[in-house]
């Protein structure tokens, strides 16, 4: 397990790349979504950093009606079978993952479009006209390692600001997690 820190060319205020992906509960199309906010988190099943955030993401999905929580698994499932669609279905069926949508980025096009590099890698999107703009791309909380205790949840404050129509002016630093497992 090697920790990687998130970096992307997408800046705050940039138009968010649109996508349509298959998920555990059917297809999800960002262009057809009208929620005021969408938290897109590149994540997976096997990474301990991603697993450590399952409960937080589940809580966010349950607590916010106006912010969709969308997990996207881009990992190479052939090399990492724990990240297969079947394994994703098991995580959802067992209740370990209870996001609004858990999607599979088989070709890894969406992860590349966002510049995602690690799991978890969160992008909070703000509705802007017919599309979305990046409002926040940073750590979910202050627990940098899987076994660390959380004392501050940055993404909750960011969601609250987006839903209130306010700018998100904090930058607690990049997310940290396992590197995305790119296809050869």
pLDDT at position 51: 97
| SS3 at position 42 | strand
| d(C-alpha 167, C-alpha 184), whole Å | 39
30 lies in some domain: yes
Q: Which domain holds residue 12?
A: 3-179
pLDDT recorded at residue 184: 78
Pairing of strands 101-104, 67-73: parallel
Return the number of other C-beta atoms located less than 10 Å from residue 168's C-beta: 21
With a CB cutoff of 8 Å and minimum separation 6, the contacts of 103 are 21, 22, 23, 24, 28, 70, 71, 72, 73
Q: How confident is the model at residue 125 (pLDDT cuts 50, 70, 90)?
A: very high
Closest CA to 97 of 74, 81, 75, 73: 73
Q: pTM score, two decimals?
A: 0.95
Q: pLDDT digits over 4-59, tens only?
A: 555 667 899 999 999 999 999 899 999 999 999 999 999 999 999 999 999 999 99
- With vertex at residue 183, the alpha carbon angle to CA 11 and CA 117, rounded to the nearest 5 degrees, is 25
Digit-coded pLDDT (tens) for 147-171 = 999 999 999 999 999 999 999 998 8
Residue 97's SS3 state is: coil
**Domain count across the chain:** 1
Q: What is the CATH number of the domain that holds 24?
A: 3.40.30.10
Please indicate, yes or no, if residue 68 is contained in any of the structural domains. Answer: yes
Q: Is residue 46 part of a domain?
A: yes
Give the mean model confidence (pLDDT) for residues 92-112.
Answer: 97
In a domain, 184, yes or no: no
Phi, psi of 99 (to 5 degrees): -75, 170
């Amino acid at each position: 397990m090697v920790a990687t820190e998130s970096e992307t060319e997408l800046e705050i205020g940039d138009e968010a790349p649109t996508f349509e992906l298959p998920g555990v509960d059917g297809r999800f199309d960002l262009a057809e979504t009208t929620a005021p906010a969408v938290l897109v988190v590149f994540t997976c099943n096997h990474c301990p950093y991603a697993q450590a955030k399952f409960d937080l993401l589940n809580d966010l999905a349950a607590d916010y009606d106006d912010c969709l929580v969308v997990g996207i698994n881009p990992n190479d499932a052939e090399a990492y079978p724990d990240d297969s669609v079947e394994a994703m279905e098991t995580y959802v069926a067992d209740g370990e993952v209870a996001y609004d949508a858990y999607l599979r980025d088989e070709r890894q096009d969406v992860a590349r479009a966002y510049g995602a590099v690690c799991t978890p890698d969160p992008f909070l999107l703000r509705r802007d006209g017919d599309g979305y703009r990046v409002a926040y791309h940073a750590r979910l909380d202050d627990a940098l390692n899987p076994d660390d205790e959380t004392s501050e949840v940055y993404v909750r404050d960011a969601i609250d600001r987006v839903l209130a129509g306010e700018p998100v002016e904090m930058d607690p630093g990049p997310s940290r997690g396992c590197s995305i497992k790119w296809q050869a």
